Amino acid sequence: MRNSLYLCAAAVALSTGLAHADGHQPFAVGEGDFSWDSYGTYVAGAPDLSGQTVTIFGPWLSPEAEVFTSMLTYFEDATGADATYTGSDSFEQQIVIDAEAGSPPNIAVFPQPGLAASLAAQGLLEPLGAESAGWVDDNYAAGSSWVDLGTYADASGDDQFYGFFFNVNVKSLVWYVPEKFEDAGYDVPETMEELIALSEQIIADGETPWCIGLGSGAATGWVATDWVEDIMLRTQTPETYDMWVSNEIPFNDPKVVEAIETFGMFAKNDDMVSGGSGAVGTTDFRDSPAGMFSSPAQCYMHRQASFAPAFFPEGTELGTDADFFYFPSFVGKDLGNPVLGGGTLLAVTDANDATMALMDFLKTPIAHEIMMAQTGFLTPHTGVNLATYMDDTLRGQGEILQNATTFRFDASDLMPGAIGAGTFWTGMVDYVGGASAQDVADAIQSSWDAIK
């Protein structure tokens, strides 16, 4: 469900129109701020693949499909190969059918690691090898995080590197209205301690710091899971987060209960949240940002992912009418700058020379920059020129990725569906409705035990 929100945000980002949706090169070689030297180096060493083809299948539809296709033209010119992308909103079902039938594409674009890991365990993915894993570790911010997220057990149970992440998203964001901050004399906080102090100052000033809404139809509650996940990364080590995701530590472990209660410091305090804590569970997440823009303001801050502007008032100019800052970490915890998010990963399902040449091309800064300049594409590649991002909003989010010391995927998306998209969601609604963090955590763990 949340992946579709990121696709929606990408469409909003391209609302001004895409001038090169026909597969032609959108930028002339040598022009602009792009890393053309990386392209020149690739071309100089590129094999002659004339007559060879590489097929890519994934979930990207318009406009991302057209942007990806335009990027592929640079690879085609460099090698002579024919690269074709096909998108489908039924990707997750179709890729399994095709792979098990022995007729997969050369490359599959997975919106989550879980499905890729499942196919790897069946021997249906081709390992990318230790050299590619080393490249990611050296060239992606928080590189070991991306290696871990792309490493799965093969059919023999041995860990192999399969998944190359290409296009990620950021959830660790707090949105605000700069003018209202300035009028009230508030500074953007740089630590979690400062964020809590700012929240308390806003209350002392007779105002309300936060707007939070968990409503989302049948998916009500997922907003709170993002809060808890972000807090887990700011109060516990990445290794503890991973053990929580896999249930190696139980959901009712004191560390998890602490994270839920920290979320409650924001969401279960009538003075802290617009409408009081009783409104948190029933306010639709799409409506909850509106309080920042009202006069007088009903709230000053809204923690939400990069798709949040899709639900801001029409005509909102990002960077002026609304802006964001990194959901900060606790200085006292000394856990660096963790970032919560998601993303798409590319894995090889049927290798040939053109396929592996394209995977190498996707390591070049230029492959990322062509995407960055046209759509809501974010990358942890440290070799890219941030100036090529389409706008300042994306550039700011790209900088957050560059500064990340740890990146972790949305925990609820990695947990079994009955938990991550079930009792975790409903448990958070129960929690803001009055249940204790311990009781909620106990109930979620009981539901996990029931499916083991």
pLDDT (tens digit, 9 = 90+) per residue, 220-247? Answer: 999 999 999 999 999 999 999 999 999 9
Same fold, 2-169+340-409 and 173-338+411-451: yes
* CA 389 – CA 375 distance, rounded (Å): 9
Strands (E), 373-451: 406-409
Percent over 70 (pLDDT), the chain: 95
Structure confidence at residue 4 (pLDDT): 45
d(CA 448, CA 418): 8
18 pLDDT more than 60: no
Is the pLDDT at 15 greater than 90? The verdict is no
Q: Which CATH number fits domain 173-338+411-451: 3.40.190.10, 3.50.50.100, 2.60.40.10, 3.40.50.1980?
A: 3.40.190.10
Nearest in space to 74 (alpha carbons), one of 373, 322, 314:
373
Residue 22 CA to residue 390 CA, distance in Å, equals 19
- Report the pLDDT value the prediction gives residue 24, as an integer from 0 to 100: 82
Q: Which CATH fold topology does 2-169+340-409 show?
A: D-Maltodextrin-Binding Protein; domain 2 (3.40.190)
List, for residues 131-176, the tens digit of each pLDDT value.
Answer: 999 999 999 999 999 999 999 999 999 999 999 999 999 999 999 9
Report pLDDT for 452.
Answer: 77
pTM value? Answer: 0.92
User: Is the per-residue pLDDT at 21 higher than 80?
Assistant: no
The reported pLDDT for the residue numbered 7 is 42
Q: Both tokens of residue 17? A: 């129109």
Pick from 78, 18, 135: nearest CA to 377? 18
User: 22 pLDDT exceeds 60?
Assistant: no
Percent of the chain with pLDDT over 90: 94
Burial class (CB in 10 A: 0-12, 13-18, 19+), 182: exposed
User: Does 383 score more than 80 pLDDT?
Assistant: yes
pLDDT greater than 90 at residue 351: yes
CB 209 within 8 A of CB 270: no
Q: Residue 374 — pLDDT band, cuts 50, 70, 90?
A: very high
pLDDT band of residue 14 (cuts 50, 70, 90) is: very low
- Give the model confidence (pLDDT) of 254-305 as tens digits: 999 999 999 999 999 999 999 999 999 999 999 999 999 999 999 999 999 9
Is residue 11 very low, low, confident or very high in pLDDT (cuts 50, 70, 90)? very low
For the chain, give every domain's residue range.
2-169+340-409, 173-338+411-451
| Mean pLDDT over the full length of the chain | 94
247-252 LR contacts (CB < 8 Å, sep 24+): 247/415, 247/448, 250/445, 250/448, 251/419, 251/441, 251/444, 251/445, 251/448, 252/438, 252/441, 252/442, 252/444, 252/445
Mean pLDDT of the 112-130 span? 96
